[in-house]
Amino acid sequence: MPITLPNDLPAFDILSDEGVMVMSPGRAATQDIRPLRIGLLNLMPKKIQTENQFARLIGATPLQIDFQLIRMSDHESRNTAADHMESFYRPFREVEASGEKFDGLIITGAPIEHLPFEEVTYWDELTRVFGWTQTHVHSTFGVCWGGMAMAWHFHGLPKHLLDAKAFGCFRHENTAPASPYLRGFSDDLLIPVSRWTEVRAEDVAKRPALHTLLSSEEVGPCLIEDPGHRALYIFNHLEYDSTTLKEEYDRDIAGGKPANVPVNYYPDDDPSRPPSNRWRSHAHLLYGNWINEIYQTTEYDITKIGDTGQ
């Protein structure tokens, strides 16, 4: 089944060329089917790159997905053209006022890790988003800073600044093989990491409402389930493209910034050689499992989401 995207969204042609089945809203409206409605609250500077990454993953399942793009209401993007934002994104204020509901919502990371959560300019509105998910979204997926922010808001789980950036591809252990979100997962796997902060295992252990599903001895907890808030928090980046870490490394080098070669990423740690993608299959598994869990448990009548004490 396809993912529904506007014909003129850049992801439409990019994913079509990759073989992902995409469909225009007009064509989707002619089908007698209830698609899953998945929102992307995109906090990343490079909006188009992030759209493509997540649309690629959630569009690969057998289910029809209605993909909606959302932004913070009063925060202007300086890295994405204004006409793109105007054409394809709706401010959260408008979504909230409409009363509409979603089967799933992805909240991305943001390059603001050094700030205390409460000092982020849009923190007040973001906490409204978190509260809104409890009545208007069936399942929420917080990614990197987005996941840390949700865990802080709901559980007071702190983030800690690192002395050096965690940057590269790190081995992770599957600590909950019976979890429906980890169906088909290997016992261990490689996951891209790029962050200046961490969540610590000892802090998670003090919060029995949180369950760690994936973790690394080197970079700590990665994937946490929060059943009470129908949420997953992932602090690393299975959604990354093959060259995302390379682009970040090259940008830092070109800008004269100190930058370590990303760990375990290039063949023989040689930046002159093209990196290979060793996490793509697990990325598809994770987001496919999330979509499947939503499909199995969400309301058929989407207007009833949040009305049954779920």
Is there a catalytic annotation at residue 237?
yes
- Asked whether residue 262 is domain-assigned, the answer is no
For 226-254, the DSSP string reads EGGGTEEEE-S-TT--TTHHHHHHHHHHH
Tell me, what's the pLDDT at 170?
98
- Which CATH number characterizes residue 225's domain? 3.40.50.880
74 is in which domain, residue-wise? 3-161+197-241+280-304
Which one of 51, 198, 225, 239 is the catalytic residue? 239
Q: Are 179 and 293 in contact (CB under 8 A)?
A: no
- Asked whether residue 213 is domain-assigned, the answer is yes
Q: Which two tokens stand for residue 3?
A: 């993912």
Cα-based torsion angle of the residue sequence 293, 299, 303, 309 in order, rounded to the nearest 10 degrees? -90
Give the span between the Cα atoms of 278 and 284, in whole angstroms: 12
Q: Using a pLDDT cut of 90, give the percent of the chain over it.
A: 78
Query: Could you report the per-residue pLDDT of 112-164, keeping only the tens digit for each?
Result: 999 999 999 999 999 999 999 999 999 999 999 999 999 999 999 999 999 99
Tell me, what's the pLDDT at 3?
64
Is there a catalytic annotation at residue 239?
yes
Q: How far is CA 119 from CA 116, 123, 124, 294, in A?
A: 5, 7, 10, 33
- Asked whether residue 272 is domain-assigned, the answer is no
Which one of 138, 153, 172, 237 is the catalytic residue? 237
Give the span between the Cα atoms of 144 and 195, in whole angstroms: 8
Is there a catalytic annotation at residue 169?
no
- The pTM (predicted TM-score) of the whole model is 0.90
Which one of 51, 136, 144, 222 is the catalytic residue? 144
Highest mean pLDDT among 19-33, 34-48, 50-64, 137-151: 137-151
- Asked whether residue 263 is domain-assigned, the answer is no
- Asked whether residue 148 is domain-assigned, the answer is yes
For 118-138, the DSSP string reads GGSTTHHHHHHHHHHHHHHEE
Q: Which two tokens stand for residue 266?
A: 């290039």
In this prediction, residues 184-204 reach a mean pLDDT of: 97
- Asked whether residue 227 is domain-assigned, the answer is yes
For 171, list phi and psi in degrees, rounded to 5. Answer: -70, 140
Query: Could you report the per-residue pLDDT of 101-112, keeping only the tens digit for each?
Result: 999 999 999 999
In this prediction, residues 76-81 reach a mean pLDDT of: 70
- Asked whether residue 271 is domain-assigned, the answer is no
- Give the pLDDT band (50/70/90) at residue 85: confident
**DSSP letter assigned to residue 263:** B
Question: Number of structural domains, the chain?
Answer: 1
Q: Is 256 helix (H, G, I), strand (E, B) or coil?
A: coil
Tell me, what's the pLDDT at 108?
97
Answer yes or no: is pLDDT of 26 > 90.
Answer: no
- Asked whether residue 269 is domain-assigned, the answer is no
Highest mean pLDDT among 33-37, 46-50, 70-74, 129-133: 129-133
How much is the mean pLDDT over the chain? 91
Within 100-181, strands assigned E span 102-107, 137-143, 160-174
